[in-house]
């Protein structure tokens, strides 16, 4: 007999002994019943009453964790006494004349389990359909089934059923537990004893460490592995390893023996049932790596079973292995497609979990497709509707998000996360009063809902209610002490409320948390403005004997026609304003980090514009129009972004600015060639290569591309799209209005380049954008802007008459210091520190150079 069989037989023998003396059938052995057991298994020993009482006192004290008040010792406690060597189970079993029960036959008509595993999203979803916000936990629910009670205990007495239910994990107590065989029940009973034994050891070691540290005892709900799950992905797989130490190897060996025992059953169906049950018990106890092993063994036995693939995906997701989880969910869908009617109860949840796994990788558009499919398969799936609304909000599609979230709340009015996300959508739609109500509903349902507190703080800050905003951010910091963004927003709110000293302290704390340079500049700016205010007030008092200046010096905004350029190298104000806006989008989407050759390689890998080798033709027209979700799959290789949150933010910006224009009909499909062509000018690399790639993409869009020329109609349409996307304030003049009608059907690259560089209807602003790419990190030795008092970073604009400097933002917005009022402002641009130094010492130049500069001014 192998070790696995011994473990099961041993437990059965202990169970037989326990049942023999549990005369009141309450599932426990009280003192009288325990006394009878001690006397019965030692027939040759004459115990006195005092000896029996002493033995019972020792047992009840040593195994106090298994004692339930006056009811006595549980089955697990009796099993532990034998495990600890307090008795010989084989000798006692034989002494009592007991026999092992015969092995029952499996059910003739096993019923299929229909589990519904619910993943909690990180920033998106909670631990169940109505709980609060994100980490990566997993909950398993069960839907109604034909089977109303566990099949293997139908004919047992109520006392036997009660005892069995007390020895199995929570998931197995459900009427829809999916267990088909009696051997499986015995397996999970033995596994439950093993798991409880290990957890008792873990708890004991934690208690010892806590006592040594002088700290209070932490319950199982605040264990090290739980703390780890809050810190990052995959923390759950380390559960208990550190505490068990060398015992962890013993634990894994015990589990392996149980798996070998499962492998030696009569039929593959029994083995599948056993591995699935082991996996569920281990998963419920957060032994995720071990649960994954059991589910994978089940998949090997039944590759076409949707449930097995589904639970493998749940385990992988909980371990933070999102890409592998996505693959498992896709296999579950493929298996379900072969018999959709049989698996209709679980397929909606597979789609939901696949969507959540895709969100874990940052793929919001792909996730939306699966949330929609889940809602179609089950129109009352409020969680699918909520997740769809949250994903649409993440993509900037606020109206659609509002509709989905409202539908979810109709189905579940107390859904806290749905109220919170609906408030965010309403705020984005400028319905701030209703947004405040939604955030307040969320806080009423859950006062510690961090996202609602954070978002309400932002809304109050934007509306000028700084004191209340600071209070909201303070509550967020209480719940998440290391949230530097909340600390930074609190600092801004305090500054708006006039609490400069508290604001300075909050800024310093935020800087200490993250060491970001922009926060350092904000602190320096705050000090500078404080010093200017004090200097101005002192100067006023010295000159007039009065002190009326209590506010800081400000700026004025002048008419754009008053700004002139000192020379041709100075960028016009209106050009710079557009270029700064494009540059902001370029940084946000990380396109600036994408070299033009990387985009070209991504286009070739996608195959959408690849010529047909057999016929020498490009793809058909239908192949050029693709779903937005398909484009999203290409973007990771283009943007070179590995953080899912950063990728989501970039996709959102691209969707709002580019895809919304390319998909004006709302069909969800876009012209892939035009999409690539619109991205190309904003990628990094030489300007000529950017233009050449745009021309090549336009040339390859047609069914039969010609070498060296692109369709004139496509070029015109592209220019119109380019200006609508990046220069919406300047309009989209038709080519015919500028260049007149022509009969040319094709355009060569030199002709295209001339059209592209035209500032009136092309994209001539690219030269200004390239200049910003090169100099927007130059700091000019700490020179301050005369309007906003911030350190100038990027191009510096110096007024040649009054000698004050402006940053690029203030220059583009027409801001000047309040004390400088001129009929005309003439500016000279300095892109680098060296140019500024040359400007200060240009008197060393020749008289010819000086005269040329004077004439330019």
Query: CA angle, 230 as apex, 226 and 235 as ends, to 5°?
Result: 65
pLDDT band at residue 126 under the 50/70/90 scheme: very low
| Mean of pLDDT values over 761-782 | 87
| Mean of pLDDT values over 758-764 | 88
| Mean of pLDDT values over 309-329 | 93
Pairing between β-strand 115-119 and β-strand 796-799 as defined by DSSP bridges:
unpaired
| Dihedral sign, Cα of residue 477, residue 479, residue 484, residue 489 | negative
Distance from C-alpha of 428 to C-alpha of 423, rounded to nearest angstrom: 9
Domain coordinates in residue numbering, the chain? 3-95, 149-219+233-302, 456-521, 557-564+778-856, 589-773
| pLDDT above 50: residue 418 | yes
Provide the β-strand partners of residue 710: 747
| Mean of pLDDT values over 702-718 | 86
pLDDT of residue 243: 57
More confident residue, 750 or 780: 750
More confident residue, 638 or 738: 638
| Mean of pLDDT values over 540-560 | 56
3-state secondary structure of 381: coil
3-state secondary structure of 346: coil
Q: Which residues of 42-78 are buried (b: 16+ CB within 10 A; e: fewer)?
A: eeeeeeeeeebeebbeebbeebeebbeeeebbbbbbb
Within 10 angstroms of residue 819's Cβ, the number of other Cβ atoms is 13
Measured in degrees and rounded to the nearest 5, phi and psi for residue 223 equal: -80, 165
| pLDDT above 80: residue 77 | yes
pLDDT of residue 348: 93
Answer for the pair 359, 124: CB distance below 8 angstroms, yes or no.
yes
All residues at 6 or more sequence positions from 567 whose CB lies less than 8 Å from its CB, including other chains: 828, 856, 857
| pLDDT above 60: residue 28 | yes
Is the full-model pTM beyond 0.85? Answer: no
CATH class of 3-95: mainly alpha
| Mean of pLDDT values over 220-236 | 30
| Dihedral sign, Cα of residue 28, residue 31, residue 32, residue 37 | positive
pLDDT of residue 247: 72
Answer for the pair 452, 421: CB distance below 8 angstroms, yes or no.
no
> For all residues of the chain together, what is the average pLDDT?
77
Answer for the pair 323, 359: CB distance below 8 angstroms, yes or no.
no
3-state secondary structure of 99: coil
| pLDDT above 90: residue 399 | yes
pLDDT of residue 275: 92
Distance from C-alpha of 191 to C-alpha of 195, rounded to nearest angstrom: 6
| Mean of pLDDT values over 458-482 | 90
In the chain, the percentage of residues whose pLDDT exceeds 70 is: 74
pLDDT of residue 155: 38
The 3-class SS string of 372-390 reads: HHHHHHCCCCHHHHHHHHH
Instruction: Enter the DSSP assignment of 147.
Output: -
CATH of domain 456-521: 1.25.40.10
């Amino acid at each position: 007999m192998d070790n696995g069989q011994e473990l099961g037989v041993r437990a059965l023998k202990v169970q037989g002994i326990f049942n023999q003396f549990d005369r009141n059938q309450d599932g426990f052995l009280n003192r009288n019943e325990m006394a009878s057991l001690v006397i019965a298994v030692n027939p040759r020993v004459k115990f006195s009453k005092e000896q029996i009482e002493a033995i019972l006192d020792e047992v009840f004290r040593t195994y106090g964790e298994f004692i339930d008040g006056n009811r006595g010792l549980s089955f697990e406690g009796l099993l532990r006494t034998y495990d600890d060597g307090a008795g010989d189970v084989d000798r006692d079993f034989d002494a009592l004349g007991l026999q092992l029960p015969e092995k029952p036959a499996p059910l003739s008509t096993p019923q299929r389990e229909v589990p519904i595993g619910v993943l909690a999203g990180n920033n998106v979803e909670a631990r169940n359909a109505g709980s609060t916000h994100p980490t990566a936990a997993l909950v398993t629910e069960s839907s109604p089934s034909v089977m109303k009670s566990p099949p293997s205990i139908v004919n047992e007495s109520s006392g036997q059923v009660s005892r069995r239910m007390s020895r199995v994990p929570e998931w197995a107590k459900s009427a829809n537990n999916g267990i088909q065989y009696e051997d499986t029940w015995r397996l999970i009973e033995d596994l439950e004893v093993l798991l409880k034994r290990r957890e008792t050891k873990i708890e004991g070691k934690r208690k010892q460490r806590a006592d040594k540290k002088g700290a209070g005892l932490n319950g199982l709900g605040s264990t090290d592995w739980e703390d780890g799950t809050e810190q990052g992905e995959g923390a759950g797989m380390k559960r208990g390893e550190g505490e068990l130490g060398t015992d962890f190897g013993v634990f894994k060996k015990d589990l392996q023996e149980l798996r070998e025992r499962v492998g030696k059953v009569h039929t593959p169906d029994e083995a599948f049932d056993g591995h699935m049950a082991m996996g569920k018990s281990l998963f419920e106890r957060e032994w995720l790596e071990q649960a994954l092993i059991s589910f994978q063994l089940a998949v090997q036995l039944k590759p076409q079973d949707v449930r097995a693939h589904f639970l493998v995906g749940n385990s992988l997701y909980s371990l933070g292995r999102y890409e592998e989880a996505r693959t498992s969910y896709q296999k579950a869908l493929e298996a379900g497609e072969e018999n959709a009617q049989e698996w209709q109860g679980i397929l909606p949840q597979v789609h939901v979990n696949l969507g959540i796994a895709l969100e874990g990788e940052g793929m919001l558009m792909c996730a939306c497709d699966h949330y929609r499919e889940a809602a179609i398969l089950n129109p009352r799936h409020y969680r699918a509707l909520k997740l769809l609304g949250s994903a649409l909000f993440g993509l900037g599609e606020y109206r659609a998000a509002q509709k989905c979230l409202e539908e979810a709340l109709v189905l579940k009015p107390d859904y806290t996360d749905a109220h919170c996300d609906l408030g965010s959508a309403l705020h984005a739609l400028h319905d701030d009063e209703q947004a405040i109500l939604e955030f307040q509903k969320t806080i009423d349902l859950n006062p510690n809902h961090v996202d609602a507190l954070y978002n309400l703080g932002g809304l109050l800050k934007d509306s000028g209610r700084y004191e209340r905003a600071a209070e909201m951010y303070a509550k967020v910091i209480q719940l998440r002490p290391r949230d530097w963004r909340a600390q930074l927003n609190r600092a801004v709110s305090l500054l708006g409320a006039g609490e400069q000293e508290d604001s300075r302290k909050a800024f310093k704390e935020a800087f200490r948390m993250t060491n970001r340079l922009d926060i350092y500049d904000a602190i320096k700016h705050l000090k500078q403005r404080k010093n200017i205010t004090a200097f101005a007030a002192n100067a006023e008092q010295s000159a007039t004997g009065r002190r009326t200046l209590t506010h800081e010096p400000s700026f004025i905004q002048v008419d754009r026609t008053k700004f002139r350029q000192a020379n041709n190298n100075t960028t016009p104000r209106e050009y710079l304003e557009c270029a700064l806006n494009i540059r902001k989008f370029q940084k946000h989407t990380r396109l600036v980090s994408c070299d033009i050759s990387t985009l070209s390689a991504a286009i070739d890998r996608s195959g959408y514009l690849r010529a047909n080798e057999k016929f020498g033709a490009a793809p058909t027209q239908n192949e050029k129009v693709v779903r937005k979700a398909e484009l999203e799959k290409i973007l990771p290789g283009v943007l070179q972004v590995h953080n899912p949150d950063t990728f989501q933010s970039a996709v959102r910006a691209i969707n709002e600015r580019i895809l919304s224009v390319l998909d004006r009909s709302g069909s969800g499909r876009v012209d892939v060639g035009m999409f690539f062509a619109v991205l190309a000018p904003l990628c990094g690399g030489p300007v000529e290569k950017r233009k050449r790639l745009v021309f090549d993409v336009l040339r390859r869009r047609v069914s039969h591309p010609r070498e060296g020329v692109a369709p004139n109609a496509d070029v015109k349409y592209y220019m119109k799209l380019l200006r609508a996307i990046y220069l919406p304030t300047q309009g989209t003049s038709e080519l015919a209005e500028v260049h007149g009608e022509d009969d040319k059907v094709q355009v060569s690259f030199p002709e295209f380049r001339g059209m592209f560089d035209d500032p009136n209807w092309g994209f001539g602003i690219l030269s200004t954008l390239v200049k910003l790419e090169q100099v927007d990190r130059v700091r000019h030795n700490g020179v301050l802007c005369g309007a906003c008092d911030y350190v100038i970073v990027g191009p510096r604009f110096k007024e040649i008459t009054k000698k004050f400097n402006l940053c690029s933002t203030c220059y583009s917005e027409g801001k000047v210091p309040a004390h400088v009022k001129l009929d005309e402002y003439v500016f000279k641009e300095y892109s680098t520190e060296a140019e500024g130094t040359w400007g200060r010492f240009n008197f060393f130049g020749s008289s010819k150079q000086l005269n040329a500069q004077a004439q330019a001014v």
